Amino acid sequence: MPEKGWSILTVREGTAKKVKDLAHTRGLTVDEFINELMNPSGKTGWLNHPLCGAEVKSKNLNEHITKVHPNRKSSKAD
C-alpha cells in the first residue's frame, strides 16, 4: 500500500480491466473514477467549462477560473 487508507477490492479480472479502461479514458485514477460513480454531482470528474468550452477537471475549476477568467471569479451562475 502506498499510504494509509487504501484497501483492496475483490472484483473479477474483466471488471477490473473495464474499470481501469474507463478511468484512464477519462483521465482519472481508478479511485477518482469510483468516487465519481458514487457521487453523481461529479466532484472529481471533468466538465466543459461553459465560458470557454475547455475541458477542466471539476476539482481544478476554481484554479481554471482564476487563471483563465480572472474577472469571472465571483460569478458562480455562469
The HSE-up count of residue 5 (CA atoms within 13 Å, CB side) is 2
CB 36, min distance to Zn ion, A:
21
Which residue, 47 or 54, is less far from Zn ion as judged by CB? 54
Give the number of other CB atoms < 10 A from CB of residue 33: 19
Q: Which residue in 11, 47, 52, 61 binds Zn ion (CB under 5 A)?
A: 52
Which residue, 47 or 68, is less far from Zn ion as judged by CB? 68
Report the site for Zn ion in 30-49 (rule: CB under 5 A).
49
Give the number of other CB atoms < 10 A from CB of residue 45: 19
Binding residues for Zn ion (CB under 5 A)? 49, 51-52, 54, 68
